Structure 1
Amino acid sequence: MAKGQTTVSDFAVAPRRSRPADQATAEDAATSMAPSVPTEGARIDNQPQGLVSHSVETDLPASRLIAPTAEARRERAVSKALQREDSRVRLRDLKRARDRESKHYVNCPLDYDTKKRLEKAALENDVKMTVIMKAAIDQFLKDNGY
């Protein structure tokens, strides 16, 4: 199958709308200053004749649905405040628990033979060296009454 020559003229392209900037700003100003029921001359071209914009009276119930009453706002504010307080208390408790369980490191030099024995014991028992040292220190403190 041979490819044919395709040009831009083979495709249907819609022409660009020409809309000068002065006309656009004039229409925007007219729509913002227009009365609630547009007259025939003030009607925008793409707006149907039967369409009438909402009056101020019909907008009030819609805005009341959006804006809650003072009581609803107070209830929502109280519930959010209680939720924030609970979150703050939980975070404080978590920080305290973390501080209690935090690791306190002890740095002690070991001679070569002791270190090799510790490595060998950790390898043979499949336990970390720190676990062995912690158990040994704990045992020593228990034996000496601490």
Structure 2
Amino acid sequence: MKKILVVNGPNLNRLGVREPGIYGMQTLADLEHRMQELGRGHGVEIDCFQSNHEGAIIDRIHQADTLYEGIILNPGAFTHYSYAIRDAIASISIPVIEVHISNVHAREEFRHHSVTAPVTKGQIVGLGLYGYELAFFALINEKKGEK
């Protein structure tokens, strides 16, 4: 069975509580359940991981290289300054798609720049939790040779 890893960074464990006007009312558990159901429907195993710690995210990205066909990554605030996560992504051979729930380009200036996006397959922003589903379909279609 194909496997995809969903990685969520800092403060995403607060989904449903943190700024619901921006991030919505669904929780991280809701998102993880939604993604696992989507995966089951397409014969893909989905593993989910969340951490508020940069090193834990880096370790998980490194481990994923030999275990998964791709990563869906929401690096949270690390997006804007973590060259260490950027380098971890660059060091692996599987595709990574960066996802952001809110439209980071319509928010504060510091959120407009991603240091991680240049080493990812693509970036999806502003579509809420649906962005994770779009990233899933992009990864499974890439594996079928459709780009």
User: Which one scores higher on RCO, CA 8 angstroms, separation ≥ 6?
Assistant: 2
Confirm or deny a common fold (TM above 0.5).
no
* Higher-helix-fraction structure: 1
TM-score normalised per structure 1: 0.19
TM-score normalised per structure 2: 0.19
Return the index of the structure with the highest Cα Rg. 1
